[in-house]
């Protein structure tokens, strides 16, 4: 029965995620905000809700800050590996060559946020007194920088879209704006509900199969919470909205790190980044390196795929994800 619920939940995410990408594309066009901004904010906020709920439940119900942070960091790492999948699915040209180089800014901002989180983990309890109540200052700084980054990226994207706006024919012209917003909201609600449900189903499967205390179980949970990002990004790619697909992934990573603050709020034992194992630095380093590779792919755009079905960075991203997972496995932590 539990596997039936798992498949049903995946089907809901697949259907609603496809609709979400389509109507997100329509909103980007009708509002003039552009696909990058819609992916960075709207789609990222929707697809990252499972990580928030699972992270909060990990500290509030289970009392495991390592599990909560492992889910957030693991999701960031897996999201960057999704870019490799998008590249393989993009048959003609490398996916990052077809994307705007403006994504470099959001990728760089993500590196800044995870570097601060990694620094707080490395410091351990030495700065545990730097807190507002029990919430660590580092968590608050990450949240503030995320909001500042979103504001700056909004202004940057808005000015760009206004500069390049064209009076081209639109496939969404015949759909009223109100209907687009309503359908986007409904699809978003379905993705959020199904994504949260999937995270609990994943936990139930881990317990039922005896994986709950193992690396396999927590890895399965991390993959389950990242399913909305995968589905929505692939759906956006199928629509030809490559910028929205890439922005959804990079925006989700930025938001995952900003979610440390609300999760820290629910963890009342002290600053969460001072309480977790230094083993998380492994996956933080992997995320930084993978982000730098994505930036290189965006900066040095190649016209052809070197490996026929994939670009040079796809196997590198996959290898780094696998190596990061293996390193965490040997350290006794989970993704």
Q: What is the pLDDT of residues 46-65, one digit of tens each?
A: 988 888 888 888 888 777 88
The model carries a pTM of 0.88
Pairing of strands 135-136, 131-132: antiparallel
Q: Cα separation of 56 and 78, whole Å?
A: 20
Q: Cα separation of 66 and 297, whole Å?
A: 32
Domain ranges of the chain: 2-166+174-331
CATH 3.40.50.1860 applies to domain 2-166+174-331? no
Q: Cα separation of 34 and 32, whole Å?
A: 5
Q: Give the end-to-end CA distance of the chain in Å, rounded to a whole number.
A: 26
DSSP state of 125: G
Q: Cα separation of 239 and 233, whole Å?
A: 10
CA 116, 99, 245, 57: dihedral to nearest 10 degrees? Answer: -10
Q: Please report the pLDDT score of residue 167 as a whole number.
A: 44
Summarize pLDDT for 61-102 with one digit per residue, the tens. Answer: 777 888 888 889 988 999 999 999 999 998 888 999 999 888
């Amino acid at each position: 029965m539990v596997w039936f619920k798992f498949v049903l939940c995946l089907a809901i995410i697949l259907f609603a995620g496809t609709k979400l990408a389509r109507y997100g594309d329509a909103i980007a066009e009708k509002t003039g905000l552009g696909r990058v901004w819609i992916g960075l904010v709207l789609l990222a906020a929707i697809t990252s809700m499972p990580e928030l709920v699972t992270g909060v439940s990990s500290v509030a119900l289970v009392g495991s800050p390592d599990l909560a942070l492992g889910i957030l960091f693991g999701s960031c790492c897996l999201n960057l590996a999704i870019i490799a999948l998008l590249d393989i699915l993009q048959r003609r040209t490398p996916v990052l060559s077809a994307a705007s180089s403006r994504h470099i800014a959001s990728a760089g901002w993500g590196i800044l946020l995870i570097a601060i989180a990694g620094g707080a983990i490395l410091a351990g309890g030495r700065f545990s007194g730097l807190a507002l109540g029990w919430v660590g200052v580092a968590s608050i700084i990450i949240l503030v920088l995320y909001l500042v980054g979103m504001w700056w990226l909004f202004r940057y994207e808005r000015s760009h879209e206004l500069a390049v706006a064209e009076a081209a024919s639109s496939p969404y012209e015949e759909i009223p704006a109100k209907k687009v917003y309503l359908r986007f909201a409904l699809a978003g609600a379905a993705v959020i509900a199904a994504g949260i449900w999937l995270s609990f189903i994943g936990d139930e499967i881990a317990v039922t199969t005896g994986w709950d205390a193992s690396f396999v179980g927590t890895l399965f949970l991390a993959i389950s919470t990242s399913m909305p990002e995968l589905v929505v990004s692939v759906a956006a790619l199928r629509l030809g909205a490559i910028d929205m697909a890439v922005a959804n992934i990079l925006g989700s990573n930025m938001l995952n790190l900003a979610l440390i603050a609300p999760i820290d709020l629910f963890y009342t034992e002290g600053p969460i980044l001072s309480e977790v194992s230094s083993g998380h630095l492994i996956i933080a380093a992997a995320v930084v390196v993978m982000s730098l590779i994505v930036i290189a792919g965006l900066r040095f755009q190649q016209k052809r795929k070197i490996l026929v079905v994939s670009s040079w960075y796809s196997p590198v991203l996959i290898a780094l994800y696998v190596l990061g997972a293996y390193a965490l496995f040997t350290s006794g932590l989970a993704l």
